[in-house]
């Protein structure tokens, strides 16, 4: 066992799995770029205060933050999420509104580690700042839905709620507090503590002691102002127009404090209920202001990459893309020819690997096999003397008659032809060459 291992909750993403991660992000970018979102790359560290604006009743802020004082004496933190960074960036740069951005990258929360819950985890997400239109809520939610469809996931459920206007939310929080406080002794000890910090979060509890009380707690919908009710009705209508199925969940309050009005979550039905939220989001009018910007409406979501890939595994969709090379070069004359031939093949757009350390023909052919290449180029002293090289198709049944010795000058185009033939014969799982 080596002295060092990656620390708990932080994993190495190795090839070929890393190719799947990149592909995930590429599919997401394509979906949201098609709707006019541009990529923002916020820094991974911010002043601690940026994240403290997320609210002090949030575990993410109070318990899970990786924060430290840097060498310049600044108290900074590794981002636990990116909505606060996007709002900080908006307040700093004041771009024209509506500002539609997306992001992809790691976040850090010191959580207890289990399947689907890590300390470094990746998200993709979008945020829109500066528009209050309920059809924007519809657009945002539908892009998340479309993305899951693009991945091939079928067992995703969309939960929808509205937390009302700030005044509705406050009245509701007061009513919830009164209700739970009257039944305090029946609540679990953990929820009794949560109640004094943030009564809404008691609704999140899945502890058996709390479930009965939660089931008959007041519902937010009873507190919606006419404006909030109308906004919510339009969102529901808009989703129905787009044939996006949803379930109203009046207990959906979400883990972060900043939400107002529309909130939503995408649930992966195949995952364990403690970690089955594939992603979620909502409106957070007020966060930009809390970060020193003008009053600005905001809405967005973040989808957890790690968990979504677990759901993909469960459903057998979105497999790891094949990143095998297409060509492997075997050189039994020392390696110099392989060097030049590989460079030429790569320049011509063919993914090419080669053997090193002048191994035997047998061992190089084994390496060619392992590489998954579709075609192997073989060059030995006979070929060097004759000014030729051998092109050998690898996949499927190796037919020695299809192995051909070709002039060195036409080698690159012959390999190209062999790849096309293999693709036509369906004898490739590799991505097509450019
Ligand atoms: P969140 O619900 O905290 O929201 O995280 C969104 C998603 O990130 C979760 O549904 C989950 O898939 C994934 N996630 C969170 N924590 C972990 C973890 N420890 N390990 C693995 N996956 C995790 C937000 O982060 C908000 N910023 C979403 C948002 C954007 N709201 C408005 N705009």
Of all protein residues, the one whose alpha carbon is nearest to atom 1 of ligand 1 is: 280
**Beta strands 277-283 and 260-268, pairing class:** antiparallel
Distance (angstroms) between ligand 1 centre and the Cα of 301 equals 8
Written as six digits, the tokens of 247 are 């379930």
Q: Which residue reads 């657009």 in tokens? A: 139
Distance (angstroms) between ligand 1 centre and the Cα of 319 equals 23
| Residue 114 DSSP symbol | B
At residue 288, the pLDDT reads: 95
At residue 433, the pLDDT reads: 40
For CA atoms 211, 301, 90, 65, give the dihedral sign. Answer: positive
Q: CA-CA distance, 17 to 385, in Å (whole number)? A: 43
The residue-averaged pLDDT of 71-79 equals 97
Distance (angstroms) between ligand 1 centre and the Cα of 302 equals 6
- Distance from chain centroid for Cα 189: 35
Higher pLDDT, 258 or 86: 86
At residue 70, the pLDDT reads: 97
159-180 burial code (b ≥16 CB/10 A, e <16)? bbbbbbbeebbebbbebbbebb
Asked whether the predicted pLDDT for residue 34 surpasses 60, the reply is yes
The residue-averaged pLDDT of 157-166 equals 94
User: pLDDT for 330-361, tens place per residue?
Assistant: 999 999 999 999 999 999 999 999 999 999 99
At residue 220, the pLDDT reads: 93
User: pLDDT for 386-407, tens place per residue?
Assistant: 999 999 999 765 555 678 999 9
The residue-averaged pLDDT of 192-219 equals 90
At residue 401, the pLDDT reads: 61
At residue 399, the pLDDT reads: 58
Q: CA-CA distance, 285 to 166, in Å (whole number)? A: 9
At residue 431, the pLDDT reads: 40
Backbone angles phi, psi at 323, to 5 degrees: -110, 25
At residue 54, the pLDDT reads: 85
The pTM of this model reads 0.92
Of all protein residues, the one whose alpha carbon is nearest to atom 3 of ligand 1 is: 255
At residue 296, the pLDDT reads: 97
At residue 434, the pLDDT reads: 34
Asked whether the predicted pLDDT for residue 372 surpasses 80, the reply is yes
Q: CA-CA distance, 139 to 137, in Å (whole number)? A: 5
Asked whether the predicted pLDDT for residue 73 surpasses 80, the reply is yes
Q: Which of 81, 84, 151, 300 to mutate to test the pocket of ligand 1 (most atoms within 8 A of CB)?
A: 81
The residue-averaged pLDDT of 192-210 equals 89
Q: Which of 107, 280, 287, 299 to mutate to test the pocket of ligand 1 (most atoms within 8 A of CB)?
A: 280
Nearest by Cα to 52 from 72, 91, 79 = 79
For CA atoms 358, 360, 363, 369, give the dihedral sign. Answer: positive
Nearest by Cα to 126 from 284, 251, 275 = 284
User: pLDDT for 113-125, tens place per residue?
Assistant: 999 999 999 999 9
Instruction: Share the mean pLDDT of the chain.
Output: 93
User: pLDDT for 407-428, tens place per residue?
Assistant: 999 999 999 999 998 888 876 5
Instruction: Of 56-70, 129-143, 337-351, give the lowest mean pLDDT range.
Output: 56-70
- Percent of the chain surpassing pLDDT 70: 96
User: pLDDT for 226-250, tens place per residue?
Assistant: 999 999 999 999 999 999 999 999 9
At residue 427, the pLDDT reads: 67
Cα dihedral 23/26/32/33 (nearest 10): -160
At residue 76, the pLDDT reads: 97
CA distances in angstroms from 94 to 79, 90, 98, 292, 369, listed in the order given: 21, 5, 11, 11, 55
Q: Which residues pair with 378 in a beta bridge?
A: 330, 390
Q: Write out residues with Cβ below 6 Å of ligand 1.
A: 81, 83, 109, 111, 116-118, 121, 123, 125, 127, 255-256, 277-282, 284, 300-302, 304, 306-307
Confidence of residue 258 (pLDDT cuts 50, 70, 90): confident
CA distances in angstroms from 153 to 182, 269, 304, listed in the order given: 43, 10, 14
The residue-averaged pLDDT of 176-201 equals 92
Nearest by Cα to 298 from 149, 3, 114, 89 = 89
């Amino acid at each position: 066992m080596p002295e060092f291992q990656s620390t708990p909750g932080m994993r190495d993403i190795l090839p070929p799995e890393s190719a799947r991660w990149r592909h995930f992000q590429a599919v997401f970018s394509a979906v949201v770029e098609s709707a006019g979102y541009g990529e923002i790359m916020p820094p991974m560290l911010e002043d601690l205060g940026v994240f403290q604006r997320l609210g002090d009743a949030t575990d993410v802020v109070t318990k899970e933050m990786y924060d430290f004082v840097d060498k310049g004496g600044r108290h900074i933190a590794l981002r636990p999420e990116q909505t606060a960074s996007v709002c900080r960036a908006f307040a700093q740069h004041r771009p024209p509104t509506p500002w539609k951005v997306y992001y992809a990258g790691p976040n850090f929360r010191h959580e207890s580690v289990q399947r689907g819950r890590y300390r470094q985890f990746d998200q993709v997400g979008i945020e829109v700042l500066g528009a209050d239109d309920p059809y924007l809520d519809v657009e945002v939610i539908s892009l998340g839905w479309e993305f899951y469809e693009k991945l091939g996931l079928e067992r995703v459920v969309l939960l929808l709620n509205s937390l009302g206007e700030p005044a509705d939310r406050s009245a509701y929080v007061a009513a919830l507090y009164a209700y739970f406080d009257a039944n305090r002794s029946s609540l679990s000890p953990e929820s009794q503590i949560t109640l004094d910090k943030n009564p809404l979060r008691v609704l999140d509890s899945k502890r058996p002691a709390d479930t009965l009380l939660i089931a008959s707690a007041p519902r937010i919908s009873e507190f919606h102002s006419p404006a909030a009710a109308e906004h919510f009705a339009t969102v529901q209508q808009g989703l129905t127009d787009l044939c996006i199925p949803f379930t109203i969940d009046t207990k959906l309050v979400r883990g972060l404090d900043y939400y107002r009005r529309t909130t939503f979550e995408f649930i992966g039905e195949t995952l364990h209920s403690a970690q089955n939220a594939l992603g979620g989001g909502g409106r957070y009018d007020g966060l930009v202001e809390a970060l020193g910007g003008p009053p600005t409406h905001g809405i967005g979501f973040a989808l957890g990459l790690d968990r979504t890939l677990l759901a993909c595994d469960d459903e057998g969709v979105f497999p790891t893309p094949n990143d095998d090379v297409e060509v492997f070069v075997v050189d039994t004359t020392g390696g110099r020819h392989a060097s030049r031939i590989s460079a030429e093949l790569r320049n011509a757009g063919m993914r090419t690997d080669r053997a090193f350390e002048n191994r035997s023909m047998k061992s190089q052919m084994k390496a060619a096999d392992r590489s998954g290449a579709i075609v192997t180029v073989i060059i030995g002293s006979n070929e060097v003397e004759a000014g030729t090289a051998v092109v050998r198709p690898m996949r499927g049944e190796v037919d020695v008659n299809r192995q051909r010795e070709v002039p060195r000058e036409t080698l690159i185009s012959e390999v190209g032809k062999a790849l096309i033939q293999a693709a036509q014969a369906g004898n490739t799982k590799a991505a097509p060459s450019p």
